[in-house]
Amino acid sequence: MAVSPSSSVQQARQLLADRLRELREQAGLTGRDHARACGWHGAKTSRIENNKTAPSADDIQTWCRVTGADDQAADLVESLRAAEGMFVEWRRMERNGLRHAQEAVRPLFERTRRFRAYSSWLIPGMIQTPAYIETVLRAAQRRRDLADDVDQAVTSRLERQRLLTTNGKVFAFLIEESALRTDIANADVMIDQLRHLGDVAGMPNVSLGIVPMRADRGHRPVEGFWIFDSSQVNVELVSGHLTITQQGEVALYADTFAQLAELAVYGNEARALIRAAVNSLSGATE
């Protein structure tokens, strides 16, 4: 069940490195001869081919010129940019503010018909209450020392939530039971958020599953992830945002989601876990 969030990036970089090696070998050049022809240090060719140093666009163009593969330079540069674009640091993604980051993903949500989301420690954004959203985004704004546009970012996320009632869209949320008990916000905000989950579970196009803490399973994913149709996965890492489009990797996340879905409880059983979390916060007993 374990998924490596960095495997897609590494694989994309390795494929590029392998292709560059093939071009050198097809040209009949040794690594040393190739480096000399490119006009750079003798170890650079080896480091690029072994995926220890990422080439620049200029490096790729020089590589293709020396190996007589100028016609492939544009495609290889595009592969480089695709690999670089898979991972975006939070500071880069949010450099124009949290509102911009919220709005940037809206077109993806609008064109997707089938959504699957897994969260190990946080209630997914599409089913958060306003107060919970504000708490989460305020913490991010302070932690990353961003401009204060939290109010606008909250509004943007709430506007995106309207997609939950759009005909033709279906949503499946899987949440670890531990996320119900994580003190993201104060007790009142958490209780309101947990009760809201009960309302969400009653929506006709939404499936809400809770993965019990007692579930018998192996390793679980550390990071939350979204699956958009069968074409893309977004993973939220501590350091940044990962976009996966390679079909083999997307399928791996879909399989992981399916396995977690089998462990989850739904309906009355899920509501019982939510009530237990509410009671632990309020001090009430059933």
**Of residues 89 and 102, which shows the higher confidence score?**
102
Per-residue model confidence (pLDDT) at position 84: 64
Confidence band (pLDDT; 50, 70, 90) for 82? low
What pLDDT sits at residue 85?
Answer: 60
Query: Does 250 map to a domain?
Result: no
Tokens 């994913």: give the residue: 221
What six digits make up the tokens of 142?
């302070």
Give me the pLDDT at residue 2, please.
43
Instruction: List, as one string, the DSSP characters of the chain.
Output: ----TTHHHHHHHHHHHHHHHHHHHHTT--HHHHHHHHTS-HHHHHHHHTTSSPPPHHHHHHHHHHTT-GGGHHHHHHHHHHHHHHEEEHHHHTTT-HHHHHHHTHHHHHH-SEEEEEESSS--GGG--HHHHHHHHHHHHHHTT--S-HHHHHHHHHHHGGGGG-TT-EEEEEEEHHHHT--SS-HHHHHHHHHHHHHHHTSTTEEEEEE-TT---S---SS-EEEETTTEEEEE-SSEEEEE--HHHHHHHHHHHHHHHHH-B-HHHHHHHHHHHHHHHHT---
Q: Are residues 156 and 191 in the same domain?
A: yes
**Alpha carbons 115 and 201: distance in angstroms, whole number:** 15
pLDDT tops 90 at residue 240? no
The whole-number pLDDT of residue 215 equals 63
Task: Output the average pLDDT for the chain.
Answer: 86
pLDDT for 285: 37
- pLDDT per position as a tens digit, 256-267: 999 999 999 999
Using CA atoms, how far residue 3 sits from 8, 88, 148, 222, 261, in Å, is 10, 19, 34, 9, 16
3-35 confidence digits (pLDDT tens):
444 555 676 778 888 999 999 999 999 999 999
Q: Write out pLDDT tens, residues 51-80.
A: 888 888 899 999 999 999 999 998 888 777
Give residue-wise pLDDT tens across range 267-282.
999 999 999 999 998 8
Query: What whole-number percentage of the chain has pLDDT above 90?
Result: 58
Nearest alpha-carbon partner for 205 in 161, 163, 171, 230: 171
Residues 277 and 193 in one domain: yes
**CATH at residue 67:** 1.10.260.40
Domain that holds residue 127: 94-215+264-282
Taking 80 as the threshold, does the pLDDT of residue 237 lie above it? no
Torsions phi, psi of 210, nearest 5?
A: -110, 125
Whether 159 is in a domain gets the answer yes
User: In Å, what is the CA distance from 225 to each residue of 109, 175, 188, 252?
Assistant: 14, 11, 27, 12
* More confident site: 140 or 159: 159
Domain boundary among 86, 103, 134: 86
pLDDT at 92: 57
pLDDT at 3: 44
Write out pLDDT tens, residues 208-236: 999 998 766 666 676 889 999 998 888 87
Mean pLDDT of 122-139: 94
pLDDT of 145-173, one tens digit each? 888 899 999 999 999 999 999 999 999 99
| End-of-domain residue from the set 69, 86, 103 | 86
107 and 165 Cβ atoms separated by less than 8 Å: no
Asked if residue 60 and residue 199 are part of one domain, the reply reads no
